[in-house]
């Protein structure tokens, strides 16, 4: 921390020494820094709490391995090896996976068959 040189301060109207402008500026800067640190600590606490809740929620979610087939135009077809006949398509990877999750909800109420992965597929494990 920088030292502020002491100079002879003329006394104010009430007999108290007057603060130099540099010292007043330093005090104000310190107050602002302390307030910023308090705000940052509060935000950090909120983020940590939210991250903990998200981690707890995701820890218990079931997963399933899927195969994504790119269609050449940026879209995908998604199938699950363990769930023959559960198929979804989308214009993007994210949309295809979202559609698959929706298809899976209906599929779980039906019976399974068999599945053989075709060439060119990409196998991934996704959260449900």
Residues 75 and 116 both lie in one domain: yes
Q: Are residues 71 and 118 in the same domain?
A: yes
Pair (22, 73) in one structural domain: no
Give CA–CA dist 121/128, Å, rounded.
20
pTM: 0.43
Residue 76 near residue 70 (C-beta atoms within 8 A)? yes
What pLDDT digit, counting tens, does each position of 71-104 carry? Answer: 989 999 999 888 888 899 999 999 999 999 999 8
Give a yes or no: residue 73 inside a domain.
yes
The SS3 of residue 69 is: strand
Q: Please check whether residue 53 lies inside any domain of the structure.
A: yes
How many domains would you assign to the chain?
2
Co-location of 52 and 69 in the same domain: no
Residues 71 and 106 in one domain: yes
Residues 24 and 35 in one domain: yes
| Domain identity same for 53 and 67 | no
- 89 touches 96 (CB < 8 A): yes
CA distance 8 to 17: 9
12 DSSP 8-state letter:
-
Alpha carbon 27 to chain centroid distance? 37
Query: Tens of pLDDT along 24-80?
Result: 889 999 999 999 999 999 999 999 888 888 887 777 777 889 999 999 899 999 998
Structural domain including 48 reads: 18-60
Q: How many C-beta neighbours within 10 Å does residue 107 have?
A: 18
């Amino acid at each position: 921390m920088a030292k502020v040189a002491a100079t002879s301060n003329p006394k104010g109207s009430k007999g108290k020494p007057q603060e130099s402008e540099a010292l007043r500026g330093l005090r104000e800067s310190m107050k602002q820094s302390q307030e910023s640190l308090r705000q940052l600590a509060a935000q950090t606490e909120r983020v940590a709490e939210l991250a903990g809740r998200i981690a707890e929620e995701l820890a218990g979610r079931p997963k399933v391995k899927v195969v994504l087939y790119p269609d050449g135009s940026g879209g995908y077809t998604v199938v699950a090896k363990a769930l023959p006949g559960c198929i979804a398509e989308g214009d993007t990877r994210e949309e295809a996976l979202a559609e698959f999750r929706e298809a899976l909800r209906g599929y779980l109420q039906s019976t399974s068959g068999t599945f053989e992965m075709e060439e060119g597929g990409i196998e991934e494990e996704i959260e449900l």
